[in-house]
């Protein structure tokens, strides 16, 4: 069976399907049972859960250290809590009901008790209780738990969608592909897949209903072609493509340590985008020169409360220290649009991409913004750091954000807390109004980063997740390229750094355009870095600059793409 979706992360994958079912657990009451049988079932389910949590704890310790692993020590203590255990056993004996119903009833009572407490720490224990005993309930109900951290054979994950927390815990040596019903090229699943260098196709609509666990699937994460249960001829074809892909990777890794300079000496910094500490494995493997974008929102997602200042500080500090002197540009919370935090209780909007999001939320919710800025400032003493504000549309917004940053500095000074005096301040240019006044904004910051995913969306008036109009989301749109050139001119005139960030940064056809605009930094998913470096090394900056005027006089996206392809071919 052939399906076609959106190619989200390049690469050929051949493997067995493992479906991730997100169905809700429904517990029914069964009366007049044999209490001894259900007490034995309860003991067995608890023991199995202990073994699983112990394994997860060991894996977490190896990946993230003792602090994160300590969470699972707490989970083991909850499983052994004598008060909970005695209440469940009494419920089974007194009411002669099934173990699942008894456990769910007692668990709900404890959760309600903890949630009603004023102390924030105690409230958070309710979440731990729910997490731990939901695992036990699954075992009691005979539901197979797909624990992504314990995978021991290669699989292609198939799901309606995948969350950042699932990506964080999965055994990345076992997961060789993602296929999802939902998502677009710039959705979080797509971004995660690229960060992890895992081939992925999203927006398939029916992959979860069409596929079966254990069945063979082959797919191309670049063009979005997916084949379930392929015939031998198709399977052989994809095996050959996979072999060619592996040979190309071997050649690219010879460029590790080579500076990305054009033939006439124009230096381009090739940076990596990350969303979490674990993304640094790919970052270092692919020879990234710096972190061009650290997406801090992943620290806020898939949880039930806001991370504290100390929690954020520890995470930022850990990443900056690991970089060991390489610069880290950290974007402040960019939430809203397709990324929501349930605990913020933001009202639904008819058009969230044009609504209450990113810097707009931060300027409105100073409790959130100042907590993050304080954490970032404190972490800056551990290495070169840049702070970047997203979705700036006016100088008024930029000045307001800078004022709050200065307030945080004053607070830390008064508290005797240290922060670096060398922090660089920048903004993302992702709204046309910011691009149009780039020369003015450049006077107030140290660097620009062009968020090309959103800039394309807003310039072309295309919802980047809407598959029906995805053909209009075109990086070769002449109007978009003119805005990029205008922004680059504004940055260069002011003498500040400018980078291209997002999927456009690694498009081989666009690299001559960026070099011609004197854009001195490209920031992308680490998996694209070495190929991009190769594409820079064979360019001549002077030649690229000369062709810009002709390029910007073209009238259609197709003409623009064809012109750039011909330019590259002629210069070989």
- Cα separation, 322 vs 277, in Å, equals 9
Annotated catalytic residue within 328, 362, 408, 501? 501
3-state secondary structure of 117: coil
Largest CA distance in the chain: 86
Task: For the beta carbon of residue 433, count every other beta carbon within 10 angstroms.
Answer: 12
Extended strands (E) in 48-202: 155-159, 175-180, 200-202
Sign of CA dihedral 311, 313, 314, 315: positive
CB 493 within 8 A of CB 525: no
Lookup result for tokens 């910051």: 445
What are the structure tokens assigned to 174, written together? 């076992």
Asked about 501 being catalytic, the answer comes back as yes
- Cα separation, 315 vs 138, in Å, equals 32
What are the structure tokens assigned to 570, written together? 């002629």
The CA-atom distances, in angstroms, between 560 and each of 247, 329, 431 are 31, 31, 22
Asked about 328 being catalytic, the answer comes back as no
- Cα separation, 91 vs 56, in Å, equals 30
Annotated catalytic residue within 38, 75, 139, 188? 188
CB 317 within 8 A of CB 379: yes
| CA nearest neighbour of 398 among 384, 408, 409, 388 | 388
CB 217 within 8 A of CB 17: yes
- Cα separation, 104 vs 354, in Å, equals 42
Lookup result for tokens 């003015």: 440
DSSP β-bridge partners for residue 177: 156
- Cα separation, 368 vs 412, in Å, equals 16
C-alpha radius of gyration, the chain, whole number: 26
3-state secondary structure of 486: helix
The CA-atom distances, in angstroms, between 352 and each of 317, 337, 348, 376, 460 are 32, 5, 8, 27, 17
CB 457 within 8 A of CB 353: yes
- Cα separation, 357 vs 336, in Å, equals 4
Q: Which residues contact residue 348 at a Cβ distance below 8 angstroms, ignoring those fewer than 6 apart?
A: none
The CA-atom distances, in angstroms, between 366 and each of 218, 298, 311, 405 are 48, 20, 18, 11
3-state secondary structure of 158: strand
DSSP β-bridge partners for residue 449: 428, 499
Residues with a catalytic annotation lie at: 188, 501
């Amino acid at each position: 069976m052939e399906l076609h979706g959106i190619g989200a992360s390049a690469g050929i994958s051949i493997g067995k399907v493992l479906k991730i079912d997100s169905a809700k657990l429904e517990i029914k009451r069964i009366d007049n049972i044999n209490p001894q049988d259900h007490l034995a079932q309860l003991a067995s389910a608890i023991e199995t859960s202990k073994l699983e949590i112990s394994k997860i704890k060991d894996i977490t310790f190896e990946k993230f250290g003792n602090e994160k692993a300590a969470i699972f020590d707490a989970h083991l203590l909850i499983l052994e809590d004598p008060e909970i255990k005695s209440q469940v056993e009494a419920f089974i004996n007194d009411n002669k009901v099934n173990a699942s119903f008894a456990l769910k009833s007692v668990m709900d009572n404890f959760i309600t008790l903890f949630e009603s407490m004023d102390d924030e720490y105690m409230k958070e224990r309710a979440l731990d209780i729910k997490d731990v005993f939901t695992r036990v309930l699954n075992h009691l109900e005979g539901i197979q738990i797909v624990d992504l951290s314990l995978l021991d054979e290669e699989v292609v994950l198939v799901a309606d969608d995948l969350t950042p927390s699932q990506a964080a815990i999965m055994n990345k040596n076992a997961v060789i592909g993602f296929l999802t019903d939902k998502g677009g090229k710039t959705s979080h699943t797509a971004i995660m897949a690229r960060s992890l260098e895992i081939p992925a196709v999203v927006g398939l609509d029916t992959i979860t209903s069409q596929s079966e666990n254990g069945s063979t699937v082959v797919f191309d994460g670049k063009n979005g072609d997916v084949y379930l249960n392929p015939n031998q001829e198709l399977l052989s074809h994809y095996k050959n493509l996979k072999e060619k892909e592996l040979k190309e990777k071997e050649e690219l890794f010879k460029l590790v340590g080579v500076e990305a300079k054009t033939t006439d000496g124009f230096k381009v910094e090739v940076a990596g985008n990350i969303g979490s500490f674990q993304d640094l494995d790919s970052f270092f493997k692919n020879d990234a020169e710096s972190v061009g974008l650290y997406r801090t929102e992943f620290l806020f997602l898939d949880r039930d409360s806001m991370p504290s200042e100390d929690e954020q500080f520890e995470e930022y500090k850990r990443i900056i220290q690991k970089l060991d002197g390489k610069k880290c540009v950290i974007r402040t919370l960019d939430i809203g649009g397709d990324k929501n935090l349930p605990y913020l209780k933001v009202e639904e909007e008819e058009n969230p991409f044009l609504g209450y999001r990113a810097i707009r939320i931060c300027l409105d919710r100073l409790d959130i913004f100042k907590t993050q800025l304080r954490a970032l400032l404190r972490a800056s003493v551990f290495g070169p750091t840049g702070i970047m504000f997203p979705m700036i549309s006016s100088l008024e917004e930029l000045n307001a954000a800078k004022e709050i940053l200065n307030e945080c500095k004053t607070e830390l000074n008064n508290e005797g807390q240290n922060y670096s005096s060398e922090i660089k301040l920048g903004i993302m240019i992702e709204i046309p109004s910011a691009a149009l006044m780039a020369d003015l904004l450049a006077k107030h910051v140290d660097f620009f980063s062009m968020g090309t995913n959103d800039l394309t969306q807003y310039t072309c008036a295309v919802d980047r997740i809407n598959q029906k109009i995805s053909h209009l989301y075109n990086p070769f749109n002449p109007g978009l390229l003119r805005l990029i050139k205008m922004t680059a001119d504004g940055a260069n005139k002011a003498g500040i750094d400018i980078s291209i960030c997002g999927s456009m940064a690694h498009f081989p056809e666009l690299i001559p355009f960026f070099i011609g605009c004197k854009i001195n930094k490209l920031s992308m998913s680490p998996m694209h870095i070495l190929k991009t470096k190769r594409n820079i090394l064979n360019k001549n900056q002077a030649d690229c600059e000369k062709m810009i005027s002709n390029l910007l006089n073209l009238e259609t996206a197709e003409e623009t793409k064809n012109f750039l392809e011909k330019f590259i071919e002629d210069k070989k």
